[in-house]
Amino acid sequence: MNVTYRVRGDAASIEARARAIAVEQSVEMPVEAIEDPAVLDGIVGTVEAIAPGGEGVFEVRIGLAVDTTGFEIGQLLNMLFGNSSIQDDVTLQDVDFPAALTAAFAGPRHGLGELRRRVGAEGRALTCSALKPQGMSAADLGRLAGRLARGGLDYIKDDHGLADQRYSPFADRVQACAEAVAAAGGRTRYVPSLSGHLDQLREQAETALAAGIDTVLVAPMILGLPSVHALVREFPALAFMAHPAMAGAARIAPPLLLGKIFRLIGADATVFPNHGGRFGYSPETCRALAAAALDPWADYRATVPVPAGGMTLARTAEMLDFYGRDSMLLIGGNLLSARERLVEEAQAFTDAVRRHSYR
Amino acid sequence: MNVTYRVRGDAASIEARARAIAVEQSVEMPVEAIEDPAVLDGIVGTVEAIAPGGEGVFEVRIGLAVDTTGFEIGQLLNMLFGNSSIQDDVTLQDVDFPAALTAAFAGPRHGLGELRRRVGAEGRALTCSALKPQGMSAADLGRLAGRLARGGLDYIKDDHGLADQRYSPFADRVQACAEAVAAAGGRTRYVPSLSGHLDQLREQAETALAAGIDTVLVAPMILGLPSVHALVREFPALAFMAHPAMAGAARIAPPLLLGKIFRLIGADATVFPNHGGRFGYSPETCRALAAAALDPWADYRATVPVPAGGMTLARTAEMLDFYGRDSMLLIGGNLLSARERLVEEAQAFTDAVRRHSYR
C-alpha cells in the first residue's frame, strides 16, 4: 500500500525524515531493535520515492503493509496517519489503495444513480438545501421543510447542528419534516442528521425509516468512521450523506482535546507526546495538558497524564521532576532497544521511578 | 458556554471575523435571516471578548448556548469546532464547560487513585511500556509481555498499531499476554488496544474481562468519541487509557478524506466547502475532490459531490459549469435569506439547475 505524504523540510534531511515516517506509521520503534525477519521484511514501512513538491516541501511515498490495517476502517486511518497527524511538518496526501483493501469494502450502496433516480433528476444536477437555524421547534422546522419542498428541491437536509436537542428532539423533528415534505406532493427527500453512538444511530435510523425517509446525514469524523461504516452495512435501504464537520481537526489545543475532553468522556489515563521527544509539543503544552487531566474540575476523578513518544530511561528523573508523582511514564522503543537485556532495562526503569526523590 | 479560539488576523478585521465564528458555530446562517426571537436571543453565538494573543493572532471568546450540544459528546465537539476546524486561521483553544454540561458527564470512573491502587504504587509515579513491533505473533508478544512484567512495570500496553490483524488476532494476543503477565507473579496490568465499531469494541472488552484484564487502550479520535463514551459507561470494571492517534487530523488532503475515504466506507454523497465560499479550498482541491468521489475506482458506485459552504443562487450556473451534472448543489443560508420569498427563491434555484445548459 503506497501512501504519499507532503513533508516540509530541506534536501539535507528529507531522506532521514522519510525513513522516520515509514517507521512511525508501521512498527513505531527503532528498526535495529527488531529481531523477527518476517517483521523486518514484511511489516516495516519502506521509503519508495522522494520528489520535490515545491518550495521547501517534498512528496514522500511510503510503502506500508496492507495487513497492518486489519481491513477495518479505523485501523486503516490509524496506520495511514494516526501518529504522523500530530507532527506538524506532515500532511497525508494520498493513498494507492491495493485491490486487497478495496475488495474488503463495498463503497456506496446507492450512489449517484440511485439518488438521482429517487427524485427523478435524470440528466441534470441534483439540488439540496438545509434546515436551520437550530433553536427552532420541530413544528417550525417542519413548516420550513414544507416550504423548501414546495420550491422543488431534490434533497432537504438538516443543518449538521441539528441533533437531539430539547428544542427539537430527533423523533419529533423527523415526523414533522417528513410529513411536511410528503404533503408538498413532490419527490423531495428530507435528510435528517444522525448523532450519537452506534446504538443511538441505529435507533434514529429506524425512526427515519418508519417515517418513510430513505436518506440520512452523518459526520464521520465526529461519529467515528467505524460507527458510520457499521451503520452503512446495517441499513441497506438508506442512502448516506457525509458531512465534513471536524475533518480539519488538527488544530484543537492538546490540553483541551487530550486533557479535558478525553477526561470528560471518562479516560482514566491519557497518553500524549512529551516535549523533547518525536513530537512538537512544548513543555508549556505538556504542563497544561497534565494540569487539565489532574486539576480539580466538577466532581471528576483525576485522569493520569502519560507522557510518551520517544522517551528514554535517561530522561526518567527529569520527567519525574517535571510531572511529579501524579503521572505515568511510558517508555516503549527505548526499552525494547535493550533486546536481550530487556528485563534488566525494564527493571532499571521501574527502579528509577520507585527510588526517585520527588521535589 | 464560553469557548476560546485563537485566530490569525489583523486589528481591522478581527471583530468581523469573531462574529463570523460565533455564527458558524451556532446557527450557521445569516443572522438577519432569523425571525424567531428565542433563537436570536438564546441560540446565536455571541462575541464575549477579543484580546491580542501575540504577533498577528487574537484570542476570541465566543458564547455558545449549552443546549445546542444536546449533552452528547459528538454533538458537543461538533458545536465547538465542527465547521471552524476546516478554516485554517482558527484554533480551538479552550472551553469553559458550564456545570449543566459537566453534570451530564461522569469523568473517569477509576482515575489515578484506582490505577495506582491496583498495582500498589502508592506515593510514586506509575510505569508503563508498550508491546511492539506489530507483525509479531500472539505467542511472541506474550513472551515479550512476560519479560516486561518481570521487569516490574505497572502497565504494559499494546502498541496502538496492534488491532485485530491476522498475524496476531485480538483474542489470541489477549490470552497470550494476559497469561504471560499473570505468570510473572506481580501486579502488572496488561492493557490491550481495542479497535472497530461499538459492537466489536464490546466483544473485545468482554474478551479482555474474561482473561482477567481490567484496563484497555482506546484511540477516541479514531473510534469516535461517542463510541468510546458508550463503552466507558457500559464497562464499569474497566479502566480506559486514551491514545492520541489522529488527534492532529487536520492535515489530511480533502480529496482523500472527504472523497476517497468517505466513499470507501459507503457515503452516497459527500458535502464539502466549495471554492470561493466561506472556506479555503481552492478550485483545484474541489476538482480533485469531486474526481475522487466520481472517478472509476474498484467496482464502487460513484459518490455524489455536494459543494456547499456559503453558496448563492447567483453562482448556480458557474457551479454547474464547474462540476457538471454529476453533482448536487447545496445552498443553505442564501436561500433562507429570502425569508417570506423562500418558496420562490427555492423555485428559482431549482429552475436554474433544471434549465442549465451543460457544457
Q: Which residue has the higher pLDDT, A229 or B244?
A: A229
Q: Which three cell numbers stand for residue B256?
A: 482523500
Q: Which three cell numbers stand for residue B288?
A: 480533485
Q: pLDDT tens, position by position, for chain A (359 residues)?
A: 999 888 999 999 999 999 999 998 998 888 888 888 999 999 999 999 999 998 999 999 999 999 999 999 899 888 988 878 767 788 777 778 888 988 887 767 886 778 778 888 887 666 767 888 899 999 999 998 898 888 788 788 898 889 999 999 999 999 999 999 999 998 989 989 999 999 999 999 999 999 999 988 888 788 998 998 899 899 999 887 777 677 654 535 567 666 665 566 554 666 677 888 654 578 998 999 899 888 887 777 787 787 877 678 899 999 999 988 888 787 776 777 777 887 788 788 888 888 888 77
Report pLDDT for A254: 67
Over 80: is that where the pLDDT of B173 sits?
A: yes
Q: In chain B, what residues touch A7 (CB-CB under 8 Å)?
A: none
DSSP B147-180: HHHHTT-SEEEEPTT-SSBTTB-HHHHHHHHHHH
C-alpha–C-alpha distance, residues B252 and B230, integer Å: 27
CB–CB of A270/A306 below 8 Å?
A: yes
Q: Which three cell numbers stand for residue B215?
A: 484496563
Report the gap between the CA of A317 and the closest CA in chain B (Å). Answer: 11
Kindly identify which residue of chain B lies nearest to residue A357, measuring between CA atoms. Answer: B124
Q: Which residue has the higher pLDDT, B297 or B143?
A: B143
Instruction: State which H helix or E strand residue B23 sits in.
Output: helix B14-24
Q: Which three cell numbers stand for residue B293?
A: 468521489
> Which of A5, A350, A356 is most worth mutating to test chain B (most B CB atoms within 10 A of its CB)?
A350
The closest CB to that of A301, out of B113, B155, B331, belongs to B113
Report pLDDT for B142: 94
CA distances (Å), origin A305, targets A217, B105, B112, B163, B193: 36, 20, 9, 23, 18
Show the 3-state SS of A76-87.
Answer: HHHHHHCCHHHC
Q: Specify the amino acid at residue B242.
A: A
Q: In chain B, what residues touch A140 (CB-CB under 8 Å)?
A: 36
Q: Specify the amino acid at residue A334.
A: N
Report the gap between the CA of A72 and the closest CA in chain B (Å). Answer: 7
Taking an 8 Å cut-off on Cβ atoms, the answer to whether B266 and A109 are in contact is yes
The closest CB to that of A160, out of B82, B135, B343, belongs to B82
E strand segments, B22-108: 46-52, 57-63, 90-96
- Cβ-based contacts under 8 A for chains A and B: 649
The closest CB to that of B325, out of A125, A224, A345, belongs to A125
Q: Which three cell numbers stand for residue B197?
A: 465499531
Report pLDDT for A258: 63
Kindly identify which residue of chain B lies nearest to residue A94, measuring between CA atoms. Answer: B256
Over 90: is that where the pLDDT of B339 sits?
A: no
> Could you tell me the sign of the dihedral formed by the alpha carbons of A12, A18, A19, A20, in that order?
positive
Over 60: is that where the pLDDT of B266 sits?
A: no
CB–CB of B90/B84 below 8 Å?
A: yes
> Which of B271, B321, B336 is most worth mutating to test chain A (most A CB atoms within 10 A of its CB)?
B271
CB–CB of A160/A245 below 8 Å?
A: yes
C-alpha–C-alpha distance, residues B95 and A342, integer Å: 43
Report the gap between the CA of A50 and the closest CA in chain B (Å). Answer: 18
Cell 460507527 identifies what position? A227
The closest CB to that of B82, out of A43, A219, A239, belongs to A219
Kindly identify which residue of chain B lies nearest to residue A242, measuring between CA atoms. Answer: B270
SS3 B76: helix
C-alpha–C-alpha distance, residues A302 and A325, integer Å: 13
C-alpha–C-alpha distance, residues A118 and A115, integer Å: 5
Q: Which residue has the higher pLDDT, B27 or B138?
A: B138
Report pLDDT for B260: 67
Taking an 8 Å cut-off on Cβ atoms, the answer to whether A304 and B112 are in contact is yes
Angle between helices B198-210 and B170-183 (to 10 degrees): 30
CB–CB of A347/A316 below 8 Å?
A: no
C-alpha–C-alpha distance, residues B161 and B5, integer Å: 32
CB–CB of B101/B46 below 8 Å?
A: no
Where is average pLDDT lowest: A263-277, B98-112, B311-325?
A263-277
C-alpha–C-alpha distance, residues B223 and A225, integer Å: 7
Angle between helices A225-234 and B198-210 (to 10 degrees): 110
Complex ipTM: 0.83
Tell me which range, B7-16, B26-35, B102-111, B330-339, is most confidently predicted by mean pLDDT.
B7-16
Taking an 8 Å cut-off on Cβ atoms, the answer to whether A102 and B300 are in contact is yes
Where is average pLDDT lowest: A72-86, B69-83, B218-232, B332-346?
B332-346
Partners of residue B23 on adjacent β-strands:
none
Taking an 8 Å cut-off on Cβ atoms, the answer to whether A220 and B265 are in contact is yes
CB neighbours of A340 closer than 8 A, spacing ≥ 6?
A: none
Report pLDDT for A279: 47
Partners of residue B216 on adjacent β-strands:
B240
Q: What's the mean per-residue pLDDT of chain B?
A: 84
Taking an 8 Å cut-off on Cβ atoms, the answer to whether A264 and B73 are in contact is yes
The closest CB to that of A242, out of B88, B135, B267, belongs to B267
pLDDT tens by residue, B8-27 = 999 999 999 999 999 989 98
User: Considering chain B, what percentage of its residues have pLDDT values greater than 90?
Assistant: 36
CB–CB of A214/B46 below 8 Å?
A: no
Report pLDDT for B170: 97
